[in-house]
Amino acid sequence: MSTVPLIETRNLNMRFGGVHATRDVNFKLSDGELRCIIGPNGAGKSTFFKQLTGQLRPTSGQVLFRGQDITGCQPHVPARLGIGIKTQVPSLFNGLSVWENVWLSACRVYPKAKALEVTRDTLERVGLTNLQKSTAGMLAHGQRQWVELAVVIAADPGLILLDEPAAGMSDQEVRRTADLILEINKSHALIVVEHDMSFIRMIAKMVTVFHQGAILTEDLPDAVMNNPTVRQVYLGKKAA
Amino acid sequence: MLDIQQLHAGYGSIPVLRGIDLHITAGEAVGILGHNGMGKTTLLRSIIGALLPTQGRVQFNGQDVSRLAPNQRAKLGMAYVPQGREIFPNLSVTDNLRMGWVKRGRASAQDIDTLLDNFPRLKPLLERMGGSLSGGEQQLLALARALAGDPQLLLLDEPTEGIQPSIIDEIADTLTVLRKQRSLTIILVEQNLDFIASVSERVMVIKRGQITGEIPREHLTDLDTVSEYTGVSSTP
C-alpha cells in the first residue's frame, strides 16, 4: 500500500549567489510524524523551512504538500493549505495582547464565536491564561516563544514547523515545552529544528541531520548522536 | 568595578527589578540564572543604560552612571550583546565589526583580521551581508562586534542561543581566554547550564526581580538542585 507523504521535497536546491544553501534535499514526512532536524550553523535548516513555507522560492526541485505541488508558491498558499511555522525569532504583534495575538490567528480559520473558544482553549493548553492580558512586546523571550507556539496551533495547521522552540528557556521550561510538543504531536505532524540536544532526546523519534545544505543522515536519536561524522561536525568534544 | 545598589526598574507602570544589589570586581565572570520573566534581560538593559532605573544606583569604576545613555556607558568600557543578536542585517560582516570598533577610530583590515583570530568561523564570511548569515553565525558576529570596542565589562544575554553544541564549547573557551588576556569582566545571562558553569566563577539566581541567592558551580550539574534554587514554578 502506498501512502502520500504529508510533505515531501524532491532534489530541493537553493543558491544565494555563490552560496549553495540547500543541495538536492530529498525529505519525506508522514502524517502524524514528529521529526527533529539538527545540524551545524549555516547547514541550511532555516533555508529549508523557508522553502517549505514559500518564503523562499527554490532554485530547483519540488515541494509537495499532501501530494500537491506548492513549489515557489507565495507564503499565504502553504499557510492556507495548513503549514504553520514558529520562526527562530518570535514575530508577534508586539503592541497587542497575548489574547489578541492568538485570537487573530484563530480568526483566520474559524468563525468569530468558535475563534473565541479556540483562543481560550489554546491559551490554557500552552499555559498562558495568566498572561493573556499582557502586551506581547513586554514579555520575556521564552514567554514570547510560547505565545508564538499558541499563535501557530490556534490556526490548527496540518503541519507545524518549529524553529528552535526551546531557545532562551530554563531547564524546567525546556521540559515543559517538550511535554507540550509531545502532546501537540498526538494530533499534529511537526518538524522541529533545535540545537539543545537534551531537548532533542526528550522529543525525538527520528532525527534528520543537515550538513552543508544536504541531508547527512537520518536515524534514531542515539544512532545519530553516536555517528562519528555528526560528532565531528556538530556535537563537538562534549558529545553525549 | 560594578556596584549596583537597590536597583529598581520596569516598563511603564510594571515593575520588573525590585531592589537588585550586585557587586562585581574587575576580571570576574558572573552568571545570572533564572526563569523567563524574572528580570534577567531587564537587569542587563539597566546596566548598559537602555533602561533607566526608577530607583537605585549603578556605579562603574567608581563613577555613578545611573543616568548615562548607552553610548556614554559604552565609551566608559561597557559592551552589550543583546538576546536576538541585533546585528546590522544590511551591512557586511566587515562593516558590522567596524561599527563595533568605531569608538576606537577606524578599523584597518589588519585590525579586523586580528580581532577574528578568536572567531575563525567568521573569516570566510567578511563580505557577506549580516542578514544572510545563519542564526549561529549572527550570534558569533554580535559577540565579535562587542569585543571590537575592547570593553572592560561585557554583558552577554544568552550568547549560546541558536548555536550548535561544538561552537558553544569554542565560545566558552574563547571567553575564558579573553578574560585572562584582557582582564575582561563578564556578566552572563544564560540558560545553558554547562556553558554558564564553564564560563562563570559564581552564579547568582534572580527571582521576581531580586537576587535571591548564589548557586555553587559544582551544583549546576544537578538539575534538581538548580530547580530548587531557581524556584519550582516555571509556568507563567
- The candidate with the shortest Cα–Cα distance to A7, out of A41, A54, A39, is A54
CATH homologous superfamily of domain A1-82+192-240?
P-loop containing nucleotide triphosphate hydrolases (3.40.50.300)
Q: How confident is the model at residue B194 (pLDDT cuts 50, 70, 90)?
A: confident
Q: Say if the Cβ atoms of A234 and B36 lie within 8 Å.
A: no
Which chain A residue lies closest to B223 (C-alpha atoms)?
A: A171
Q: How many CB pairs under 8 A join A and B?
A: 114
Mean pLDDT of A183-204: 92
Nearest chain A CA: its distance from B180 CA (Å): 22
Q: What is the pLDDT of residues B5-59, one digit of tens each?
A: 999 999 888 889 999 999 999 999 999 998 888 999 999 999 999 999 999 999 9
* pLDDT value of residue B236: 36
* pLDDT value of residue A237: 63
Which chain B residue lies closest to A146 (C-alpha atoms)?
A: B236
**Closest Cβ opposite residue B191 in set A127, A170, A233:** A170
A220 to chain B, any CB pair closer than 8 A? The answer is no
Q: What is the pLDDT of residues B108-127, one digit of tens each?
A: 888 899 999 989 989 999 99
Q: DSSP character for B201?
A: S
Q: Spell out which residues of chain B touch residue A46, defining contact as CB-CB under 8 Å.
A: 134-135
Q: Say if the Cβ atoms of B158 and A141 lie within 8 Å.
A: yes
Quickly tell me which residue has 507565495 as its cell. A74
Q: DSSP character for A88?
A: S
Q: Spell out which residues of chain B touch residue A128, defining contact as CB-CB under 8 Å.
A: 236
A18 to chain B, any CB pair closer than 8 A? The answer is no
Nearest chain A CA: its distance from B71 CA (Å): 24
What is the domain partition of chain B in residue ranges? 2-230
Mean pLDDT of B120-138: 88
Q: Which CATH architecture has domain B2-230?
A: 3-Layer(aba) Sandwich (3.40)
Q: Are A200 and A38 in contact (CB under 8 A)?
A: yes
In three-state secondary structure terms, B85 is coil
Quote the CA–CA distance of B152 and A22 in Å, as a whole number. 41
Radius of gyration of the CA atoms of chain B, in A: 17
Asked if pLDDT for residue A239 goes beyond 60, the answer is: no
> For B43-57, what is the HEC assignment?
HHHHHHCCCCCCEEE
Nearest chain A CA: its distance from B104 CA (Å): 31
What is the dihedral sign for C-alpha A50, A56, A57, A60? negative
Whole-prediction pTM: 0.80
Q: Say if the Cβ atoms of B165 and A234 lie within 8 Å.
A: yes
Mean pLDDT of A102-112: 95
Q: DSSP character for A220?
A: -
Q: How confident is the model at residue A173 (pLDDT cuts 50, 70, 90)?
A: confident
| Cβ count near A152 (within 10 Å) | 25
Percent of chain A's residues with pLDDT above 90 = 78
Interface of A with B in 56-95 (CB under 8 A): 88-89
Q: Spell out which residues of chain B touch residue A89, defining contact as CB-CB under 8 Å.
A: 84
Q: How confident is the model at residue B231 (pLDDT cuts 50, 70, 90)?
A: low
What is the dihedral sign for C-alpha B123, B125, B127, B129? negative
| Cβ count near B228 (within 10 Å) | 12
Quote the CA–CA distance of B51 and B44 in Å, as a whole number. 9
A99 to chain B, any CB pair closer than 8 A? The answer is no
Nearest chain A CA: its distance from B191 CA (Å): 5
| Cβ count near B192 (within 10 Å) | 22
In three-state secondary structure terms, B129 is strand
Q: Say if the Cβ atoms of B84 and A89 lie within 8 Å.
A: yes
Predicted-assembly ipTM surpassing the 0.85 threshold: no
Quote the CA–CA distance of A197 and A174 in Å, as a whole number. 11
A19 to chain B, any CB pair closer than 8 A? The answer is yes
Q: Say if the Cβ atoms of A146 and B227 lie within 8 Å.
A: no
Q: Say if the Cβ atoms of B14 and A88 lie within 8 Å.
A: no
> Which residues have C-beta within 8 Å of that of residue A208, sequence separation ≥ 6?
A27, A35, A36, A37, A38, A215, A217, A218
Q: What is the pLDDT of residues A22-73, one digit of tens each?
A: 999 999 999 999 999 999 888 999 899 999 999 999 999 999 999 999 998 9
Q: Spell out which residues of chain B touch residue A88, defining contact as CB-CB under 8 Å.
A: 135, 162
Q: What is the pLDDT of residues B68-91, one digit of tens each?
A: 999 999 999 999 999 877 899 999
Q: What is the mean pLDDT of chain B?
A: 89
Q: Say if the Cβ atoms of B235 and A238 lie within 8 Å.
A: no
- Count Cβ neighbours within 10 Å for each residue of B144-169 and write b for 16 or more, e otherwise: bbbbbbebbbbbbbbbbbbbbbbbbb
Q: Which three cell numbers stand for residue B55?
A: 530607583
Quote the CA–CA distance of B4 and B36 in Å, as a whole number. 22
A106 vs B180: which has the higher pLDDT: A106
Q: How confident is the model at residue A240 (pLDDT cuts 50, 70, 90)?
A: very low
What is the domain partition of chain A in residue ranges? 1-82+192-240
- The candidate with the shortest Cα–Cα distance to A146, out of A185, A179, A112, is A179
